[in-house]
A = this chain, B = another copy of it.
Amino acid sequence: MPVKNKKLARGVSLVGAGMSKFGSFPEKSSRDLFVEAFQVMSNSVDKEFDPQRIEYVCIGNFSSDLFEGQSHTAPIMADAVGLVPKAAVRVEDACASSGVALRQGILGIASGLYDIVLVGGIEMMTKLPTSEVTDTLAAAGDVLYEIPVGFTFPGFYAAMASAYMDRYGAAPEDLMQVALKNHNNGALNEKAQFGVTIPDWMEKRKQSAEKKGKPIPEWNDEMDFLHDDRANPMIAWPLRLFDCSPITDGAAAALLVADDIAKEFTDQPLKIIGSGQASDYPLHDRSDLTSIGAAKLAAQEAYQMAGVTAKDIQLAEVHDCFTIAEVIASEDLGFFEPGKGFNQAEKGITTRDGALPINTSGGLKAKGHPVGASGIGQVVEIFKQLRGRAGERQIKGDPKLGLAHNVGATGQTCVVHIFQREE
């Protein structure tokens, strides 16, 4: 289906972005995390900023209903950050919820109704036992046709990985290189759930066990992270533990304003020059498991709106809920030809110092994946990198053009945004 070339009636800029620490916070509720994200976001606005100027709050959240027994979360979040009686809306598109919230915020400004919009995302996942989290996430599949036959999300993505490996000759070890790269990045991100490289993580785990007087019997320096089930247990073949993003609590927030007032907030706004969104069938109903149709269409819409191509993008945050997802994303977005994405981390192309850095934040893989917050979490990294404020993990080359790619479930939703720093 050809994508209509779409234009917004009014331009939108990003002038603030921030996130809570991602991790496990049993003593907190999602409103606590959202307050934290909101404060970090507010502090990221360079010039003096009165939060009461915010007119509209759009919150992405997958299922506080199931995770916390709390629905109608949008006005609760608005209240938590002092924004009652502003209009407050929750949007849900599974793990793409806050990428979609970003897009809804853009529509709100482009419509002429609002000038200043807070978009955010929240998810508090660790209040449930892990097995129930898996079942809860499965609600994002098709509960009539997929879940009753035993699928969970590791299974869905394992099916995609198997199909991909079969078609293109990739190996599980190639996928694990994505995990190694993203943990290398996450190790430099103080907000990441796993702020540690995989080798360091293994070493720490070994030391900790020894310190407690309970050394892991088979643990030795020769244990092979790539192949050994003791170091890196198999979850759903070919995906091992470190192919999977973790269960995470977290929140993120961003401030959108009409282009014409952006300089009131910062001398370094990012223009949101492209936005695309599309849907797809549930996985069981698709003709191809090695690509996500919604991602290709969303990218096409965003590129057309932005007037750029994949070759122009200088860094990207893509939805690596599993390692295979980053590989497929990098192909769907047009960065690499189909079947050529799987060894780009290994080749150093997508590493921090590579030609096209992907997931410099650590990605969902190392930074964590509080599902409803992940889309805006990606925006936080783009906001830092394109403004030269990513600290130790700042990429070279003074990047001006970045892309965020956020997927819901197995790809029934995908949303893509392109950000540009103006000179």
Contacts and interface: CB of A to CB of B under 8 A. Distances in A.
A85 B8 contact: no
A72 B139 contact: yes
A20 interface: no
Nearest to A79: B281
A140 interface: yes
Contacts of A144: 29, 31, 70
A279 B93 contact: no
A216 to B, nearest CB: 38
B68 A65 contact: no
A150 interface: no
A63 B74 contact: no
A88 B92 contact: no
A72 B94 contact: yes
A108 to B, nearest CB: 5
A93 B66 contact: no
A245 to B, nearest CB: 17
Given A76-B142, A79-B281, A113 B6 contact: yes
Given A93-B75, A279-B88, A113 B8 contact: yes
Interface in A61-84: 62-63, 65-66, 68-76, 78-79, 83-84
Interface-central residue, A6, A79, A107, by most chain B CB under 10 Å: A107
B89 A91 contact: yes
Contacts of A112: 6-10, 110
A282 B78 CA distance: 11
Contacts of A70: 139, 142-144
Given A75-B413, A107-B107, 17 more contacts: A9-B110, A9-B112, A29-B144, A63-B65, A65-B71, A69-B143, A69-B147, A70-B142, A71-B92, A75-B279, A76-B412, A79-B279, A79-B282, A88-B93, A88-B413, A91-B92, A108-B111
Interface of A: 1, 4, 6-10, 29, 31, 55, 57, 62-63, 65-66, 68-76, 78-79, 83-94, 100, 104, 106-108, 110-114, 139-144, 147, 275, 277-282, 285, 293-294, 297, 408-409, 412-413
